[in-house]
Copies of this chain bind each other. A is one copy, B any other.
Amino acid sequence: MPSRRERANAIRALSMDAVQKANSGHPGAPMGMADIAEVLWRDYLKHNPHNPQWIDRDRFVLSNGHGSMLSYALLHLTGYALSIEDLQDFRQLHSKTPGHPEYGHTVGVETTTGPLGQGIANAVGMALAEKVMAEQFNRVGHEIIDHYTYVFLGDGCMMEGISHEVCSLAGTLGLSKLIAFYDDNGISIDGEVHGWFTDDTPARFEAYGWQVIRNVDGHDADEVKTAIDTARKSDQPTLICCKTVIGFGSPNKQGKEDCHGAALGVEEVALTRANLGWQHPPFEVPADIYAEWDAKEAGSKVEGDWDRRFAAYAKTHPELAVELKRRMAGELPEDFAEKASAFVREVAQKGESIASRKASQNCLNAFGPLLPELFGGSADLTGSNLTLWKGCKPVVQEDATGNYLYYGVREFGMSAIMNGIALHGGLIPYGATFLVFMEYARNAIRMSALMKLRVIYIFTHDSIGLGEDGPTHQPIEQLANLRLTPGLDTWRPADTMEAAVAWKHAVERRDGPSALVFSRQNLPFHLRDDETEAAISRGGYILKDCMGEPELILIATGSEVGLAMQASMRLSEMGRRVRVVSMPCTSVFEAQSAAYRQQVLPRTGARIAIEAAHADYWYKYVGLDGRVIGMTTFGESAPAGQLFEHFGFTVDNIVATAQELLRANG
């Protein structure tokens, strides 16, 4: 029977050979963590290669995602639909084995990793979701949701700030089924870490309230096994500190940064083969080793056991069982669309002129009761973001039955945790901060989009309209940044109606995240006929039209739509034919037919875009001949009204700009 080391060497060989073939990649981490992975995946991990979607599987996250070949080797060896040819195609166009693990692209990959520190954050989100779902759905004698979240992470993740945010929170929440393996190999890209990283990491994690298992030899299976056993018994999250040798097995490169991020070289690969006693050619794994790794049968059995337990649960708690399946499938309640539409009509009838952040809270109060899967939160701005609704109950360590998390001042952590929650399934996370501080979370928002996750970001205080807090708090370039993120829908509603439609769209959207951008200040309500109301969901639409062909189109969003409406009235009184286009979501508008877009924005007529955000974005819509009334500098600290005046967001200025432009156009 192959030894543990031989089984681990299969990972090492596949990893170094795939990297060598691609002449690109990171052999060091897979080779260093192979022994740990062998113990975890063969002796503990609850999973079924036949059904990577099984809802009660353990989650495995490779936070040091550059070591992707570790995941690919494990998935291949244990029997997932990832062939040896796929491994040979490592890092090639359209292969199933891209440079970093990609969720939704490679079967069995639980999250996209690579940007350091975010994998551990996703894992915290998964473990949190498991805890919440378990408390919401398990019943006495029916532990239907009961799985671990395992995560590998390296020095890079440990140095990143986000690891602080999320591990601190994981400790506070007592996420006892989160088990992290720290690949303490003492090496990062620049060399031996002691020059720039001297934390007492175990002490740091104890300060967070974690159980820490120190000084585990990451190449000693018994020590790893004992550590995992201890971890699984804890009522705290556990950090297992594994001393490992990066590139283990490479006689000349192990323990050095050289093997971190480049192929070992043909010669060193051969020497490593000899050193490891791995006699097999590249991409050949002996049948007995495959047999040892094969988890298909065991996986089917363990899922089969669960299926029987679930059947018993379904018999005793039929409604819960149906609801659990619905939620894990990401399907909305059957009546959601109808009731949400009814709410939208109600909003239209009320016609309130309120802050859009308040309109957002009204949406939460309407949609919340319909959606037990809604899981909210704020990065310590609950009262400003208005993210609480009547049915909110906070999740705390002792009671995770709730649906709201006080994330603390942790924007990046919150966002990456939301990604983990969405990846786990069963919950639709929304989380909030001020729009300008989306920058702290920026790369996690990008990851939501890259992974096509239903994550809802609420960003309030959306412009200089926040007033006195001044330029550090006033977003300028942030809206464009969000809009330029592929796959992210960014909504900036002009009133309560647009807010309601945006919220509905974000909830109903299954293939990606939404950013809902709301004002601090009150916004006027705009009257619409039925057709106009229906058009909101097209992202951009004619809010007010003129008789005949418009000679001027005012394009605006959010708080500036009101100004555009007033200006259009003034210009109409002067005899001008002016159309107002409200453009709450450019990406949704762009997804409309060319005919519709052409109808809303015909090429005839001058154009002016008005938005209290960076002007440059809007040239896409006004071109070289149009005008943009926008920001090109940072803001100022003053009451909001004065700032709008100061920066030219006034009816007078729009009218003057329009007159100048119409004159220029002859």
Contacts and interface: CB of A to CB of B under 8 A. Distances in A.
Interface in A171-208: 171-172, 188-191, 193, 195-201, 203-204, 206-208
A41 B616 CA distance: 45
A406 B624 contact: no
B207 A203 contact: yes
B190 A201 contact: no
Which of A161, A199, A449, A634 counts the most chain B CB atoms within 10 A? A161
Interface residues of A, number: 116
A636 B98 contact: yes
A407 B162 contact: no
B470 A100 contact: yes
Interface stretch (A423-431, A545-553, A637-645): A637-645
A419 to B, nearest CB: 13
B114 A472 contact: yes
Contacts of A114: 469-470, 472-473
Contact of A24 (B115, B439, B447, B468): B468
Interface in A424-483: 436-437, 439-440, 442-443, 446-447, 449-450, 467-473, 476-477, 480-481, 483
Interface string A646-660: 100000000000000
Contacts of A436: 115, 443
A94 B189 contact: no
Contacts of A100: 469-470, 472-473, 637
Which of A172, A378, A467, A468 counts the most chain B CB atoms within 10 A? A468
Interface string A199-222: 111011011110000000000000
Contacts of A115: 436-437, 440, 472
Contacts of A440: 115, 160, 442-443
Interface of A: 22, 24-25, 65-66, 91-95, 98-100, 102, 112-117, 155-157, 159-165, 168-169, 171-172, 188-191, 193, 195-201, 203-204, 206-209, 378, 380-384, 394, 396, 405-410, 412-413, 436-437, 439-440, 442-443, 446-447, 449-450, 467-473, 476-477, 480-481, 483-487, 603, 614, 616-617, 619-625, 631-634, 636-639, 642-643, 646
